[in-house]
């Protein structure tokens, strides 16, 4: 009988240990993206099929904050689960980071004892960093960024120049040109945040603020003769170039343009597998 009790206690401890070490993966979209971008790009299907990360919910920008996604077999509780964050992608970094902080804290309360791995694409990687340094978040294990402008991008400055017209030219352009012009106008504050950092800018302050001691991974776009893509230079996608994170980030090169694609899913599969074993 005593031996049976010991076996049962050992089994319970094993189950509790597995539950406590389960991870939550949160995917954060970038500028003009949305939560579904991770699915339509093929990233989520790859993580679901090859690494057993079932999609459990979508984090939305208003209460109840977590929108559950029905699973094919709800009676089976997977060790790891996947969530997609929906953010106001035209808003400044500070506002997006505030929304993300609320979502992550709500997620932490719903899943106590589980670690979070954050993955941010493009501006979403900068938003994730801002949330990390500004707030007391649940237990974060790692931040992985994909083609993120950690040192800004000249493209943001070009867009700002394109919409920096005096009145009434601005009104005339907005009325007659349409297209991306009104969209860029509505993104003005975000574009300022994503311009190359200078003293007094949000990105400059963020890059000189101490970051938590977690795992950092920079997925950098690679081209035949250079690093980076048409929107963000390669050095800007490298978190090691951030003064507060110098030498702390793993580098992973993934060919392609700036948008998400299945190659990101395969890269994340390998990276996350290594993180979950630590």
Are residues 261 and 186 both part of a single domain? Answer: no
Domain assignment present for 71: yes
pTM score of the predicted model: 0.87
* Residues 146, 160 share a domain: no
- Is residue 3 domain-resident? no
Among 195, 224, 247, identify where a domain stops.
195
Please, are residues 237 and 221 in contact by the beta-carbon 8 Å criterion? Answer: yes
- Decide: helix, strand or coil at residue 142: strand
CATH assignment of the domain containing 83: 3.40.50.1820
Give the pLDDT of residue 73: 65
Same domain, 71 and 87: yes
> Is the Cβ–Cβ distance between 216 and 251 less than 8 Å?
no
Rg (CA), the chain: 20
Q: Which ranges of the chain have pLDDT less than 70?
A: 1-21, 51, 72-78, 165-179, 278
Measured CA to CA, the distance from residue 120 to residue 114 in angstroms comes to 19
pLDDT score, position 2: 46
On whether both 130 and 251 belong to a single domain, the answer is yes
- Residues 6+ away with beta carbon under 8 Å from 27: 35, 38, 43, 44, 82, 83, 84, 85, 119, 121
Q: How far is the C-alpha of 76 from the C-alpha of 139, rounded, in Å?
A: 24
45 and 173 share one domain = no
In a domain, 47, yes or no: yes
Residues 63 and 165 in one domain: no
pLDDT at 50: 74
Structural domain boundaries enclosing 180: 154-195
Cα distances (Å, whole numbers) of residue 160 to 73, 104, 106, 124, 236: 49, 31, 35, 20, 19
Q: What is the structure's pLDDT at 52?
A: 78
Total domains in the fold of the chain = 2
Tell me if residue 221 falls in helix, strand or coil.
strand
CA gap 96, 130 in Å, rounded: 9
The one-character DSSP state at 210 is -
Decide if 16 is inside a domain: no
Name the DSSP letter for residue 258.
Answer: S
169 and 225 share one domain: no
Same domain flag for 188 and 243: no
Q: Which residue has tokens 């076996």?
A: 7
- 185 and 247 share one domain: no
Contact of 96 with 90, CB cutoff 8 Å: no
* Helix intervals (H) in the chain: 2-20, 37-40, 43-51, 93-110, 123-134, 154-162, 169-176, 180-186, 188-194, 202-207, 262-276
- Token pair, residue 164, equals 């920096």
| Token output for 178 | 């349409």
Give CA separation, 185 vs 34, 156, 232, 241, 268, in Å.
19, 12, 20, 30, 34
Instruction: Note whether 172 and 254 are same-domain residues.
Output: no
Determine contact, residues 141/275, Cβ cutoff 8 Å.
yes
Contact 34, 86 (CB under 8 A): yes
Same domain as 170, residue 68: no
């Amino acid at each position: 009988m005593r031996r049976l009790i010991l076996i049962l206690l050992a089994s319970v401890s094993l189950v509790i240990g597995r539950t406590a070490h389960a991870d939550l993966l949160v995917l954060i979209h970038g500028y003009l993206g949305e939560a579904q971008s991770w699915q339509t790009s093929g990233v989520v299907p790859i993580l679901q099929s090859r690494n057993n990360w079932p999609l459990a919910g979508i984090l939305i920008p208003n209460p109840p904050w977590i929108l559950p996604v029905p699973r094919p077999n709800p009676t089976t509780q997977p060790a790891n689960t996947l969530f997609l964050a929906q953010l106001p992608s035209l808003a400044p970094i500070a506002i997006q980071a505030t929304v993300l902080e609320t979502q992550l804290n709500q997620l932490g309360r719903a899943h106590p004892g589980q670690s979070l791995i954050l993955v941010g694409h493009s501006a979403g990687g900068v938003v994730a960093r801002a949330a990390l340094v500004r707030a007391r978040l649940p237990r974060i294990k790692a931040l992985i960024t994909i083609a993120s402008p950690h040192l800004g991008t000249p493209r943001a400055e070009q867009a700002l120049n394109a919409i920096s017209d005096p009145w009434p030219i601005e009104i005339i352009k907005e009325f007659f040109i349409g297209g991306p012009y009104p969209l860029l106008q509505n993104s003005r504050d975000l574009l300022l945040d994503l311009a190359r950092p200078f003293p007094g800018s949000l990105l400059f302050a963020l890059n000189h603020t101490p970051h938590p001691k977690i795992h950092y991974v920079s997925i950098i776009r690679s081209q035949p003769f250079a690093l980076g893509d048409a929107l963000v230079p390669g050095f800007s996608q490298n978190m090691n170039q951030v003064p507060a994170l110098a030498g702390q980030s793993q580098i992973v090169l993934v060919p392609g343009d700036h948008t998400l694609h299945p190659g990101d899913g395969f890269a994340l599969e390998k990276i996350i597998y290594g993180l979950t074993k630590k």
